[in-house]
Structure 1
């Protein structure tokens, strides 16, 4: 998505989520997606990624975020897990073990690798864009009520 160029913090209230959706962006990439009850005081409410997220939240049609660039400032092994999240199609789900199996160089039968997957999900900087809610038995970086509503949108 080429129009993610404005650096700053952007937030808009979602009646569906009963909280704000807040996006931090810089250098054409999304740095963070959060769901605060109160947005940052200097947050603006217009940004193309916010528009797309709100289309997704309407649930009227399938919305993907494959073209949105996310700046992953996490350890390399966690990055690999988070990048695999994007391969899980809208409306489908996997478990932690399957996600480990999809991730290069991870062994789904190795407990340390399963801990790594759970840690990556828990520390996901951009829920929705990196859809950790599609991992049925893993943590989500989104608050539990938000995670449930995201799963509901996709019929999970």
Structure 2
């Protein structure tokens, strides 16, 4: 996946578009607009995989390279969230236990984890929708649909 650009495809399941920003073979962003960017192309292998996922095909997307250009503490949280398997869920406190140096009893740590979840630039590939009591990088209706799809 060495292509670069903006790619978008409409999803009837989500009642929105799924829009990807890709550069140097890495996913930079995943967004869920009602209207895609004017220059978005509709054909991309990752859009095909997302479409299959939204139709019920299990995919953990672990082979997808995501460019996490953010502070290390946020990146550490999102990398751990990628380890939550399809169909499983966790809480903010459970994520805190997964991240080295974080405590599930420290309010500052829990706030930092919530901030990282909310800043997720690549939802679906980084499944913050699986953290059931935290913010996600997707609109709430999209997160609900993704949880229902995975039986969470």
- Normalised-by-shorter TM-score class: over 0.9
Residue in 1 that maps onto 2:10: 13
Counterpart for residue 31 of structure 2: 34
Query: C-alpha offsets along residues 47-67 of structure 1, whole Å, 9 cap, x if unaligned?
Result: 1111111111001x3111000
Unmatched 5+ stretches in structure 2 = none
Q: What is the aligned-residue RMSD (CA, Å)?
A: 0.6
Q: Counterparts of 1:81 and 1:49 in 2: how far apart (Å)? A: 23
| Partner Cα separation in structure 1 for residue 93 and residue 13 of structure 2 | 31
TM-score, structure 1 normalization: 0.96
Give unpaired runs (5+ residues) of structure 1. none
* 1:43 has 2:34 as partner: no
Equivalent positions of 1:112-127 (< 5 A) are 112-127=108-123
TM-score (normalizing by structure 2): 0.98
**Structure 1 residue 129, shift from structure 2 partner:** 0.4
Aligned residue number for residue 63 of structure 2: 67
Structure 1 segment 130-149 matched on structure 2, within 5 A? 130-149=126-145
Residue of structure 2 aligned with 1:77, choices 73, 82, 101: 73
Cα deviation, 1:8-50, whole Å, max 9, x if unaligned, reads: 0000000110010000000010000000000000000011111
Tell me which of 18, 22, 44 is aligned to 1:25. 22
Q: Secondary structure at the match of 2:61?
A: coil
Find 1:54's aligned residue among 34, 51, 55.
51
Distance 2:20 2:64 in 1: 12
